[in-house]
Amino acid sequence: MNDETPSKPRDPASDVLWGFWYPALRSDQLHGQKLERAMLLEVPLVLGRDAAGKPFALRDVCPHRAFPLSLGRFDGASVECAYHGWQFDAHTGQCRHVPSLTADSKLKCDRIYAGSFPCEERDGYIWAFMTNPEGRASIPSGTSAGVTAEAALPPPAPELPTFSPRYQIARLSADLPCSVDHGIIGLMDPAHGPFVHQAWWWRSRRSIRDKAKQFEPIPNGFRMSAHAPSANSAPYKLLKLITGEPATTMIDFVLPNQRFEQIRAGRYWLSSRTTVTPIRADLCRLDFVAAWNILPWFPLVSFIIHVLGPRFIRQDTEVIEKQALGLKYGDRMMLVDDADRQARWYFELKAMHLESQRTGAPMRHPVSGPVTLRWRS
């Protein structure tokens, strides 16, 4: 694809990336033995905590009559369907009891399963490993049929990097009325800031200047190498003023939907992760979490995140809502020059990952080595 070739993202419904962790709920949304509903990748989920507090995620559909399991009861170990009382192990989905069966029934309950998904808790989020739409156990591509149960386990859920034992943490979220593709390429777009996020504390049209950033490949993604932050951003100027140290920032994008940013200034640091998670083909959710040790005794960073952060996100949401008016007539896009190169890499990474899954061959990386991109913003 050359720099002026129109590009159309592939159908998000057919290109959903399975075999990855996605944040389903905030940790504080699960209380006691109460069941909660969520939707990920157009798959309905029921989530809860067992008697020991460990989270679980089942497909919110009883395999008997498709009744939502979230409307049933939970005793700390098994989820009971409210329609006929079938009971399922909260973690494996295995059927434990069918009340209507007689003693001489030949039906083997333990061969019946509700869909289940590996579940972990990290950074104040409940993560679900989305194996496939049905929640069947799956063996990672490239492994043999005789693979052990341990080898078939998913990798650990994502975790926000932190760099000292004591820090503060904050979280924000917003619904984005668009496909995950448009949400993600909007997340990594470097050129819209002076137009969408105009503010005295961020950017203005008068602040547009030449930028040059070096990128390098990383597993399942790409990295904007550590560099001095943009001189036309007030928060970075303030950070240097507070710490007295030159600051650097490094930004990673990793499939399927994660953007990490690390800002370092001497012993001070701020680490953030933004995810764009597909809920439906036309809806995704942005989750932002940040941890920092900058002036823990003074709520400056907390103010920026909790007060200015929602405004920043709201501006992006409003743009996406307006963009949806045009997308109704087709989502053909023109990805041009270096400013849109990250979006092109995202589509190429996604396509190459899907091809690797289909063929079992190692995934080819669209970024062959360090490269410098230049744009104005």
pLDDT tens-digit profile of 21-33? 999 999 999 998 9
- Assess whether pLDDT exceeds 70 at residue 139: no
Q: Which residues contact 239 (CB under 8 A, 6 or more apart)?
A: 229, 247, 263, 265, 268, 294
Q: What is the pLDDT of residues 357-372, one digit of tens each?
A: 999 999 999 998 899 8
- Assess whether pLDDT exceeds 70 at residue 62: yes
Please say whether the beta carbons of 103 and 40 come within 8 A.
Answer: no
pLDDT score, position 203: 55
pLDDT tier at 76 (50, 70, 90 boundaries)? Answer: very high
- Assess whether pLDDT exceeds 90 at residue 15: no
End-to-end Cα, the chain, rounded Å: 23
What average pLDDT does range 66-89 have in this prediction?
Answer: 97
What average pLDDT does range 307-329 have in this prediction?
Answer: 84
Alpha carbons within 13 A on the beta-carbon side of 266: 10
pLDDT tier at 322 (50, 70, 90 boundaries)? Answer: confident
pLDDT score, position 327: 82
Residue with more model confidence, 339 or 62: 62
State residue 249 phi and psi, 5-degree precision.
-135, 145
pLDDT tier at 329 (50, 70, 90 boundaries)? Answer: confident
Which segment of 134-138, 168-172, 183-187, 285-289 scores lowest on mean pLDDT?
Answer: 134-138
Please say whether the beta carbons of 240 and 233 come within 8 A.
Answer: no
pLDDT score, position 206: 66
Prediction pTM value: 0.88
pLDDT score, position 299: 78
pLDDT tier at 231 (50, 70, 90 boundaries)? Answer: low
Q: What is the pLDDT of residues 147-197, one digit of tens each?
A: 444 446 899 999 999 999 999 999 999 999 999 999 999 888 877 777 777
State residue 359 phi and psi, 5-degree precision.
-100, -20
C-alpha closest to that of 139 among 19, 235, 238: 19
Please say whether the beta carbons of 91 and 56 come within 8 A.
Answer: yes
Coil, strand, or helix at residue 271?
strand
- Assess whether pLDDT exceeds 80 at residue 11: no
- Assess whether pLDDT exceeds 60 at residue 3: no
Mean pLDDT, all residues of the chain: 86
pLDDT score, position 235: 60
pLDDT score, position 147: 42
Please say whether the beta carbons of 70 and 96 come within 8 A.
Answer: no
User: What is the DSSP code (8-state) at residue 363?
Assistant: P
- Assess whether pLDDT exceeds 50 at residue 13: no
User: What is the DSSP code (8-state) at residue 274?
Assistant: E
What average pLDDT does range 95-120 have in this prediction?
Answer: 93
Using CA atoms, how far apart are residues 169 and 320, in angstroms rounded to an integer?
Answer: 27
pLDDT score, position 204: 57
What single-letter amino acid sits at 71? L
What average pLDDT does range 51-57 have in this prediction?
Answer: 96
